[in-house]
Structure 1
Amino acid sequence: MIKKAGSIFFLGTLFFVQAQEKQTDIETIEVQGKLFSTPYKSANQNITIITREDIVNSPAKSIDEILQQVPGMDIRRRGANGVQSDIGFRGSSFEQVLLLLNGIRMNDSQTGHNSMNLPVDLDDVERIEVVKGPAARRFGQNAYAGVINVITKTNPGKRVKISAEAGDFGNYGLGLNAQLGNEKFSNSLQANSASSQGYIYNTDYEIRNVFYQSKLNIKDGDLRLQAGFSEKKFGANGFYASTIGNGTV
């Protein structure tokens, strides 16, 4: 069996000080930039905010599925469970859309391909900021057609969530989401694994994700740390050429 394997390793540390926002009203949200943030109500760009309430009320099970609900967004999926996904916006290529995770660039620096290789589960997402149109002045290169910034959450308190699912074609998924901390220092850890034998030849996949983040509140701001690992192995049926029977040409 011919199989294409794709994996990324992301280890990032983000330290910054910012004004703390306690409100949940969309009008009070500050749209994050590379060096500074802009209040949503004062932004002069076309911006869509997908709030936590929108995510909870949506049937979407992954980040790429929730983004498909944004007008003008083109999620180019080549497999189930977001195993191979790229983002286009208003007819753009995937290289012209900048993808950020808590303000940190996630686009592959070599190819810009498979940009949705995020080590984050949808349950960890607090909101998603979608800036439509050129925004290179604020965000840097690749922000030609738009910017997508996925904001994750770190909440105080103790919480553990374990999930499991199974289906046809050897499909299964296991997930762990744990939060521990208080108002001063909070931690969040999520790990998930998914696999399938594929619905036709060479469409099988294996996905492994781990993501950790912490937040330390200090005077007039906070310090944050995040680190993640993502590995994906997938069959590439019809990706490079058409298929005939059980072989590829």
Structure 2
Amino acid sequence: MIKKVGSIFFLGTLFFAHAQEKSTDIDSIEIQGKLISIPYKIANQNITVITREDIANSPAKSIDEILQQVPGMDIRRRGANGVQSDIAFRGSSSEQVLLLLNGIRMSDSQTGHNSMNLPIDLDDVERIEVIKGAGARRFGQNAYAGVINVITKTHIGKRVKISAEGGDYETYGFGLNAQLGNEKFSNSLQANSNSSQGYMYNTDYEIRNIFYQSKLNIKDGDIRLQAGFSEKKFGANGFYSSPKATEQYEETQASVVSLAHQQTFGNLKIHSNVYWRRGQDMYLYNREKPEIYRNMHIGNNVGGEVNSSYEWGLGTTGVGVETEKRIFGK
């Protein structure tokens, strides 16, 4: 089934944070909207920025854990290490929160329950920006209660980091982070693998992430490419249905590819992107007896947007258009 979500014209100021790789000073962050940008220190919206320093000083091991520290957020976690989480604000549902990865929509076509299936690890995050309240609604669908923009790290030069960790319950983690590039063209590749036998019966998990991004600087602008894949397999003892449903099992996959462009032509600024996100969710009521009940969903989001702003004597005028199609299957 194919569903066209809509083509929407925007007039006014729509904000999401734009990555500034070389600065961690919160006042130097520029809030770049779909149409108009404004410095963070004078923004009039309810914005919380979790910096790289905040992440490093936190005991959190996953993105959902670090978001729990934001006042007003309602994180309903199931399992350990970010296996499964519903993310919302107090008084809202997960369907009413828009999740962005470097400014690209990551909303799942089936349900907000799967929006947190991101192909990155917390160690790859540069910062997280959260817009709460009515100001977020101008982002359109899924932004009724708030917007969360996760921005990944980029570096210039050559750098390779390999990490490993272990713990109780046969918990293991391995990671690779490689950077290669210069002021003109930079590349980043991250790959992570985590597994555990679980803290109690049937809470074992395996998580695999791989994420690539690149940035090409052009005259008065840049072109950015990102691609990622996430896979989670986990025992879901008591996650859904009744606490007595101890044999539940789930596998999820999420893929994303996007290409974004921004450039300035005198007083005119252009921002555009195209993206594709695929989500897959397979659920078994009893992992040892899949014939009892099996549920399988596959969904694709394909979309793009073009936004512009022009500075002239009376101020700044912004115009843009966005379209998205959702394709469902089983």
The two structures have a TM-score, normalised by structure 2, of 0.66
State the 1:244 CA deviation.
7.1
Structure scoring higher RCO (CA < 8 A, sep ≥ 6) equals 1
C-alpha change, 1:197 and 1:28, in structure 2 (3 Å) is same
Unpaired runs of 5+ in structure 1? 1-17
- Report the identity percentage: 84
| 1:134–1:145 Cα contact (<8 Å) kept | yes
Matching residue of 1:191: 191
CA deviations on 1:13-42 (whole Å, 9 max, x unpaired) are: xxxxx8978544212212243444332123
**In 2: Cα distance, 1:169 partner to 1:19 partner:** 38
Q: Which residue number corresponds to residue 72 of structure 2?
A: 72
- 1:100 is matched with which residue? 100
More strand by share: 2
Query: Amino acid of the residue matched to residue 87 of structure 2?
Result: I
Whether the aligned pair in 1 keeps the contact of 2:202 and 2:246 (CA below 8 Å) is: no
1:48-78 per-residue CA deviation (whole Å, 9 max, x = no partner) reads: 1111222222222221111111111111110
Alignment of 1:1-249 (within 5 A): 22-136=22-136, 138-239=138-239, 240-243=241-244
- In structure 2, relative to structure 1, the CA distance for the partners of 1:192 and 1:21 (3 Å cut) is closer
SS in 2 for 1:80: coil
Shift of 1:195: 0.9
Q: Is the 8 A contact 2:237 2:246 kept in 1?
A: no
- State the TM-score, normalized to the length of structure 1: 0.86
Alignment coverage as a number of residue pairs: 232
Task: Give the Cα–Cα distance (whole angstroms) in 1 for the partners of residues 90 and 32 of structure 2.
Answer: 22
Provide the secondary structure at the position in 2 that maps to 1:243: coil
Match of residue 15 from structure 1 = none
1:149/1:210 Cα in 2 relative to 1: closer, same or farther (>3 Å)?
same
Structure-2 separation of matches of 1:136 and 1:182? 35
Provide Cα deviations, 1:158-215, integer angstroms capped at 9, x if missing partner: 1111111111222111111111111111100000011111122211111110000001
Gaps of 5+ in 2: 1-17, 249-284, 287-330
